Amino acid sequence: MYPIEMKYLTPPTRLFLQKVSKAVFANPFSAEREKADRAIVDSSKSWPALVDEVLEKVKAELDEYAPLNIKQFNSRDQKLLSAAILFERFHVYGDVFDALVANQLAAPQDNQIVPFAKEVLEDLKKLGFDDSLALSYFAFMYQLARAYYLVSRSLVGNSASMQSMRAQLWSSIFTYDLQRYIDGLWNRMEDFSTLLLGETGTGKGVVANALGQAGWIPFDKKGWRFSWAFTQSFISANLSEFTQTLIESALFGHQKGAFTGAIRDSEGLFSRCRPHGTIFLDEIGELDKAIQVKLLRVLQDRVFTPVGGQVGKRFEGRLIAATNIEHASLKEGQFRSDFYYRITSNIIEVPNLRQRILENKNELEELLSVIVPKVIGKEDPDFFSDIISLSQTFRDYHWPGNVRELEQFVRRVLISGTYQRASEDLNGKIERQMSAKALLSRHAMALCTEGVSTSEIARLMQIDRRTALKYLKYQDERAEIKRLR
């Protein structure tokens, strides 16, 4: 067997590929990415349009070494060539990767076959990648495409705070150093928990969903599909829905006979989470400190035990948590200090709608362009035009219910053709003789109309959830009596 003939990159090519590598590994939601692309091509096009010119230049440079086999180069040059190939193949197959993501979202229970996988893997093998490396690079391409698709399309808005949040989210998926991630950190991301902070209705669940569904998934060559659908990688729960006595069972599961009513074994969230998958715990700020201790053990030792069980089970997923409680309160006693520091490998603050509108005058319109088709089920230019016109009259409104209230605004206008600010209704003309119950009911209904959840209404009014429901029902009954009169 003849030895492989060694080849060497010319100094100009090496310098060029170093620039390409910098662009490949830059955060696409950061200013650094556009700056890196402009260092490669001198173009008047805006980003991301100029990426096409970068792609043409990278292709031309790689063609100079055709037929290319990365094994013919030393390890340093192999890394530069691999980054350029990753960039070129990723963009060549960009549209079909996007279609794969869209099809998976449309059929979340079906694990899609990847019809173009064989072609990509054969291309990589011809370029000198061995089987395992080719499979890894293909999985990286899919993860990159999926992450960009989910983050860019689900988190709409061009305010400065939203641009910053998208960049933070990308780093939470891949870290700030994508090269280090590819070199092996991809297999350790479960050790990094993320805490989402933000007011009710800002979209913390949407952020968590994008992060959770963008995780690493290996490719199964036997079935010509990824090992599982990314839509099955994400499990979520709102902790306020569980009583303190049942929350441990909901998280870790229980064995038959563990407590009254436990008539069979039951799996908890942590048992159902896949390797490299994600569990999202919303409203974690109210978590009892005794449960914090148990959750801390899972995060530190990666082991949990079902209620009533004796055998520990391994947790191989990642944890994302969210709360509307202020950061200072969490740090100063709401959380145990050891639990706080373990759950905050990364903290992302989701901006409220007031801040976003102040930063970008077109933020409402950009959001409504996504919300309206979502609510109606299709594009409706006439209704969109009407609701944009109506939204202009709300320029001075603070939107206390945030994006959730904006969605309610669309639904209300769709049904009634008008929208009355709930806070104005409460602060406007109030009956002189109004019982405390009626006043509290009116306040609860005002918050509900703004998109605030029942659990959050209870927290804001400092009452239990059952009482909040009672006030909402009382207000509905009074409205019905008034209508019949």
Which pLDDT belongs to residue 210?
Answer: 97
What pLDDT is stored for residue 343 in this prediction?
94
Confidence (pLDDT) at 410: 93
In order of 174, 346, 446, 449, the CA distances from 349 in angstroms are: 18, 10, 26, 25
* pTM reported for the whole predicted model: 0.85
> How far is residue 290's CA from residue 297's CA, in Å, rounded to a whole number?
11
How many Å apart are CA 291 and CA 302, to the nearest integer? 15
Residue 69, Ramachandran bin (φ over 0: left; ψ between -120 and 50: alpha; else beta) = beta
- Look at residue 291 in the predicted model and tell me its pLDDT: 92
The DSSP element (H or E) to which 195 belongs, if any, is strand 194-197
Please give the pLDDT value at position 480: 42
Residue 380, number of CB atoms within 10 A of its CB: 15
DSSP summary character for residue 231: G
* C-alpha span between 437 and 289 (Å, rounded): 33
As a three-state string, the secondary structure of 298-358 is HHHHCEECCECCCCCEECCCEEEEEECCCHHHHHHHHCCHHHHHHHCCEEEECCCHHHHHH
Q: Would you state the pLDDT for residue 464?
A: 72
- Looking at residue 218, its pLDDT comes to 96
At residue 480, what is the residue type? E
Residue 110, SS3? coil
Residue ranges of the chain with per-residue pLDDT less than 70: 1-4, 421-439, 449-451, 473-485
